[in-house]
């Protein structure tokens, strides 16, 4: 992608009514449409979605394939895609606007600071779809299912809330199972190291991201873990 094209998308996304940004961990306020500052922590339903429907996050959402796909399937739920890459957020947000989807929004920020933007018990469900697996052991704490991130999710995920991990990486799949085996606050509800070898346990798993399509074309198997917050 050319630099000019990136700059155009960055400028365009700032005017979108379904995108919010924050890059300052010392100030949790968000920048919304046309540069307006808004405090959404604990108020996503009230101020953005204008309803009381359950909220689902898609972390490391990329182009928002899952957030948009879920929003289409479940009009009575709200979805928020989270990523740091502006050009990717632009694609997901623009698609949502073109489809007229009012139940999906996007948050451009670092996931390390995700708990700054959601109040306790504000989120019902989390999807983590094909995140960077950070294959080097020295970076294992950056994996989105590391103990550090799981503790962050507990700050806003409701008790009983589900977390879904979908990945092509065996290492991340096994790492997550190992982490969860030592967790008192989460329990595994389902896992499979080749979801397409059998009937899918959830129809939502039919949604395929840009990266998943690439992985499948390369002959990789897709792995899935569903786990639940206990306490």
Q: DSSP 3-state assignment of 33?
A: helix
The catalytic site residues sit at 132
Which runs of consecutive H residues, i.e. helices, occur in the chain? 3-13, 65-73, 86-98, 147-154, 170-181, 210-217
Residue 52 vs residues 43, 87, 161, 185: alpha-carbon distances, Å: 10, 30, 17, 26
Contacts of 34 (CB under 8 A, 6+ apart): 14, 15
- By the 8 A CB rule, do 216 and 145 touch? no
Q: For Cα atoms 209, 210, 215, give the angle at the middle one, nearest 5 degrees.
A: 90
């Amino acid at each position: 992608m050319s630099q000019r094209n990136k700059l155009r998308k960055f400028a365009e996304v700032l005017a979108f009514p379904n995108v919010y940004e924050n890059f300052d961990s010392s100030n949790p306020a968000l920048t919304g449409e046309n540069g307006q500052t808004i405090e959404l922590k604990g108020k996503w339903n009230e101020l953005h979605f204008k309803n009381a429907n359950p909220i689902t996050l898609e972390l490391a959402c990329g182009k928002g394939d899952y957030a948009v796909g879920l929003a289409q399937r479940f009009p009575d739920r709200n979805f928020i895609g989270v990523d740091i890459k502006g050009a990717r957020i632009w694609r997901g947000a623009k698609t949502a606007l073109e489809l007229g989807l009012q139940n999906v929004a996007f948050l451009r920020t670092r996931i390390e600071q995700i708990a700054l933007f959601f109040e306790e018990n504000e989120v019902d469900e989390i999807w983590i779809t094909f995140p960077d697996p950070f294959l080097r052991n020295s970076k294992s704490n950056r994996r989105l299912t590391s103990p550090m991130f799981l503790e962050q999710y507990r700050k806003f995920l409701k008790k009983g809330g589900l977390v879904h991990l979908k990945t092509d990486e065996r290492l991340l799949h096994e790492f997550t199972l190992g982490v969860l085996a030592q967790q008192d606050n989460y329990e595994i509800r389902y896992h499979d190291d080749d979801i397409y070898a059998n009937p899918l346990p959830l129809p939502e798993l039919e949604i395929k991201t840009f990266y998943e399509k690439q992985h499948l074309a390369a002959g990789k198997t897709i792995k899935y873990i569903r786990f639940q917050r206990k306490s």
